């Protein structure tokens, strides 16, 4: 059929079964005589799609009833501003943990609204690790603590959830949501751009504890106030209906395949074997991240000579392994191995890497 293994960091691979179902339903959803993208977002058919998607996500993540689930536009990047606008709640400082490119973006946006306090930073170590729990200097008076559990570019992941006491913990889970079970009650808010483990681009999912809603600063635009979207079931205006629908198909696919426990076991196995192949290559391939902070989702690695990068990418493509080029700020390679990238894709990449190393000593 010509499908490749797509290692893109996002927009990323979507499960084949989901694409096939969307294809079957493209012209006529469930006897409605129209495509989902042609439906009124307020009609009965679309409402059933939207509600099922939310119910399935709640089941998958065991989201308690006192959390709202919002389907918003503007991507994860818009959340960088919405968080201080809505969650400072009259305070002037918030704690931010700095572990790389994405936390930096969140911090620079927060500076427009408050004085972010850097509770920990690993910049001195070139962001090659997550800080240990003991390194976090948390302010009990902070409005909230923000962190990035998985840095998509650096491939650095927190092996623990920071304990923040009564201060709400806010997590940018763009590149790790749905990769394994988590305890939602530890978080005040979780948010994620859709285009990795959720579905197509064009949407952010926000899971927010109800008591944090309704405290937006005066002057906050209607569309940037969580209250607006919570009160209207994310339908204050026209939502990204098709993205929401595909996300719903992905949630149903995850439930059908054993939920997040099964996904977590597979993801751990996939990551472990890829890191083992890198570490076992006699120094040919290198991943610079401290072992305890290595991401299960984004695996950057370098080759012995940068001149080999282009050859590697070209030959990998011929073997059906695509989008392996590292982020422009890092170079080398990056294999993003989200939920929809099957274990057979990781096996194929490992076999290719071994063969490539032998042929290009």
Spatial neighbors of 47 by CB under 8 A, at least 6 apart, are none
Find the shortest distance in angstroms from Cβ 161 to ligand PMP.
16
- Footprint of ligand PMP on residues 181-220 (CB under 6 A)? 193
Find the shortest distance in angstroms from Cβ 193 to ligand PMP.
3
Determine which residue in the list 7, 29, 67, 102 makes contact with ligand PMP, applying CB under 6 A: 102
Number of residues counted as binding ligand PMP (CB under 6 A): 11
Is residue 179 within the footprint of ligand PMP (CB under 6 A)? Answer: no
Is residue 326 within the footprint of ligand PMP (CB under 6 A)? Answer: no
Determine which residue in the list 99, 175, 267, 302 makes contact with ligand PMP, applying CB under 6 A: 175
Q: Is the CB of 103 or the CB of 228 nearer to ligand PMP?
A: 103
- Footprint of ligand PMP on residues 72-101 (CB under 6 A)? 75-77
Burial of 59 per CB tally in 10 Å (0-12, 13-18, 19+): middle
Q: CA-CA distance, 309 to 324, in Å (whole number)?
A: 10
Is residue 56 flagged as an active site residue? no
Find the shortest distance in angstroms from Cβ 99 to ligand PMP.
10
CA geometry: angle 169, 97, 211, nearest 5 deg: 20
Q: Is the CB of 76 or the CB of 278 nearer to ligand PMP?
A: 76
Is residue 296 within the footprint of ligand PMP (CB under 6 A)? Answer: no
Is residue 10 within the footprint of ligand PMP (CB under 6 A)? Answer: yes
Is residue 244 within the footprint of ligand PMP (CB under 6 A)? Answer: no
Q: Is the CB of 206 or the CB of 213 nearer to ligand PMP?
A: 206
Find the shortest distance in angstroms from Cβ 223 to ligand PMP.
16
Is residue 148 within the footprint of ligand PMP (CB under 6 A)? Answer: yes
Find the shortest distance in angstroms from Cβ 76 to ligand PMP.
3
Is residue 172 within the footprint of ligand PMP (CB under 6 A)? Answer: yes
Find the shortest distance in angstroms from Cβ 361 to ligand PMP.
35
Please give the backbone phi and psi of residue 323, each rounded to the nearest 5 degrees, phi first.
Answer: 60, 50
Name the residue among 102, 193, 197, 153 with its Cα closest to residue 333: 153
- Do residues 273 and 350 touch, judged by C-beta distance below 8 A? yes
Name the residue among 202, 196, 200, 168 with its Cα closest to residue 184: 168
Can you read off the two tokens belonging to residue 150? 């998985």
Determine which residue in the list 86, 98, 174, 302 makes contact with ligand PMP, applying CB under 6 A: 174
Which segment (31-39, 120-128, 168-176, 323-331) binds ligand PMP by CB under 6 A? 168-176
**Residue tagged active-site, from 29, 56, 102, 225:** 102
Which segment (172-180, 252-260, 272-280, 327-335) binds ligand PMP by CB under 6 A? 172-180
Is residue 152 within the footprint of ligand PMP (CB under 6 A)? Answer: yes
How far does CA 275 lie from the centroid of its chain? 20
**Residue tagged active-site, from 196, 225, 253, 296:** 196
Spatial neighbors of 220 by CB under 8 A, at least 6 apart, are 85, 86
Pairing of strands 150-151, 189-193: unpaired
Spatial neighbors of 149 by CB under 8 A, at least 6 apart, are 157, 158, 161, 171, 172, 173, 176
Is residue 71 within the footprint of ligand PMP (CB under 6 A)? Answer: no
Can you read off the two tokens belonging to residue 189? 């808010």
Is residue 172 flagged as an active site residue? yes
How far does CA 229 lie from the centroid of its chain? 21
- Contacting residues toward ligand PMP, per CB under 6 A: 10, 75-77, 102, 148, 152, 172, 174-175, 193
User: Active-site residue numbers?
Assistant: 102, 172, 196
């Amino acid at each position: 059929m010509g499908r490749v293994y797509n290692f893109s960091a996002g927009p990323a691979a979507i499960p084949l079964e989901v694409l096939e179902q969307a294809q079957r339903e493209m012209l006529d959803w469930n006897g409605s005589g129209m495509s989902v993208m042609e439906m009124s977002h307020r009609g009965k058919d679309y409402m059933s799609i939207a509600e099922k998607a939310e119910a399935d996500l709640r089941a998958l993540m065991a989201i308690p009833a006192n959390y709202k689930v919002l389907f918003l536009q503007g991507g994860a990047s818009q959340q960088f501003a919405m968080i201080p606008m809505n969650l400072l709640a009259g305070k002037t400082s918030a704690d931010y943990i700095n572990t790389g490119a994405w936390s930096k973006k969140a911090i620079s946006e927060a500076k427009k609204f408050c004085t972010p306090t850097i509770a920990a930073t690993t910049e001195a170590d070139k962001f090659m690790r997550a800080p240990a729990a003991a390194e976090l200097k948390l302010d009990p008076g902070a409005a909230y603590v923000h962190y990035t559990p998985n840095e998509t570019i650096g491939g650095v992941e927190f092996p623990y959830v920071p304990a923040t006491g009564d201060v709400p913990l806010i997590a940018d889970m763009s590149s790790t949501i749905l990769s394994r079970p988590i305890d939602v009650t530890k978080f005040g808010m979780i948010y994620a751009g859709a285009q990795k483990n959720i579905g197509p681009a064009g949407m952010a999912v926000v899971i927010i504890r109800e008591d944090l809603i309704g405290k937006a600063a005066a002057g906050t635009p209607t569309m940037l106030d969580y209250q607006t979207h919570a009160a209207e079931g994310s339908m204050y205006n026209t939502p990204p209906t098709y993205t929401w629908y595909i996300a719903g198909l992905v949630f149903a696919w995850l439930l059908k395949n054993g939920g997040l426990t099964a996904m977590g076991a597979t993801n751990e196995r996939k990551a472990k074997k890829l890191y083992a192949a890198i570490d076992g290559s006699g120094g040919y391939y290198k991943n610079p991240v401290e072992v305890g902070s290595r991401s299960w989702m984004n695996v950057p690695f370098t080759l012995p000579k940068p001149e080999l990068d282009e050859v590697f990418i070209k030959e990998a493509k011929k073997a059906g392994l695509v989008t392996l080029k590292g982020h422009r700020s890092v170079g080398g390679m990056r294999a993003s191995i989200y939920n929809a990238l099957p274990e057979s894709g990781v096996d194929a990449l490992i076999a290719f890497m071994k063969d490539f190393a032998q042929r290009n000593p």
